[in-house]
Structure 1
Amino acid sequence: MGLWDFFRQKKGIENTPVKTEPIVENDLAVGQEVPAYIETDAKNYELVSVIAAAIMAGEQTDSQFVVKKILERNPEAQLVSVIAASIAAGEQADSQMIVKKIIKK
C-alpha cells in the first residue's frame, strides 16, 4: 500500500483503474533504434579472444580469462554519427559532439 492509497482509504475514494494511451511526441519515436555495436563473425572470435586475454594477463602467466561476447562497431551507426556530428559542429573545429541514440524510420 502506497502513501496515496492510505489517504484514499480514509476519504472513501474508490480505486478505479484509468486507461491511458502512450503519448507519441513526434514521428521519430515510431522508428527503430540502430544499435551502436553488433555481434561479430564467428571467424574473428579466436583471434580477438587470444589478443584480449594476452593484454589482460600482462605479466601474470597463471591467470585465466573467459571471453563471453565479442561485439564490433556498427558501420551504419558510425557513419551516421560522424555525419551528424560534422553537420552540427559546422565550422567550429574545436567542438565535440556525442551521438547518444540513432533512430531509423
Structure 2
Amino acid sequence: MNLIKRLFTKKQNGEENVFENNLDSQKISEKESDGWEAIPTFIEMNPKDYERISVIVTAIAAGDRPDSQFVIKRILQRNPEARTVAIISASLVSELADDSQLFVKSIAKKKIDSI
C-alpha cells in the first residue's frame, strides 16, 4: 500500500496530497454528523457465490502458473444503489457539458429521523 501512496503522492506548497482508495473513503465523514449518511461504493457479496467467484478469480490470476496459490480475504461487489445514483447524476451533469468526463467521489443520503 505504501508503494501506491508514493506513486500517487504530489507535493504542493509543502503539503502532500495522498491518493485515497474507495475503501478508505468510506470512513466516517463530517457529513454524517450533519444528518447525512454515506452510501458505500462496495458491499459484501452473498456468501453462496464465494466459491464460484474464488475459482474464477484464481483461475484468471494463475494464468500459465498452475502451481501458484492464492488467498482471497474478502469479496465485495458494487453497491447497486450507489451505481444507479452515480449514473443518473453523471448523466444529468454531462447534459450541460458535452465531451466531459466525470468521477463521483462519494454519495450520501439524508438521514430520516424516526419519530
TM over 0.5: yes
Instruction: Please name the residue that 2:65 is paired with.
Output: 60
Gaps of 5+ in 2: 1-29, 111-115
Aligned equivalents of 1:66 and 1:58: distance in 2?
16
Aligned equivalents of 1:28 and 1:92: distance in 2?
33
Secondary structure of residue in 2 paired with 1:87: helix
Instruction: Please name the residue that 2:13 is paired with.
Output: none
Q: Does 1:70 align with 2:39?
A: no
**Contact 1:34/1:77 (<8 A) preserved:** yes
Shift, 1:98, TM fit: 0.5
Structure number with higher relative contact order (C-alpha < 8 Å, ≥ 6 residues apart): 1
Q: Does 1:32 align with 2:44?
A: no
Aligned equivalents of 2:99 and 2:84: distance in 1?
20
Query: Under a length normalisation based on structure 2, what TM-score does the superposition of the two structures give?
Result: 0.64
Q: Which has the larger radius of gyration?
A: 1
Instruction: Please name the residue that 2:106 is paired with.
Output: 101
Query: Under a length normalisation based on structure 1, what TM-score does the superposition of the two structures give?
Result: 0.70
RMSD: 2.1
Gaps of 5+ in 1: 1-23
Give the AA of the match of 2:84: L
Identity of aligned residues (%): 47
Write 1 or 2 for the structure with the bigger share of strand: 2
Q: Does 1:84 align with 2:89?
A: yes
Secondary structure of residue in 1 paired with 2:68: coil
**Any idea what the Cα deviations from partners look like across 1:42-98, whole Å, max 9, x if unmatched?**
011000000000011000011000111000000000000000001111154421110
Q: What number of residue pairs does the alignment pair up?
A: 81
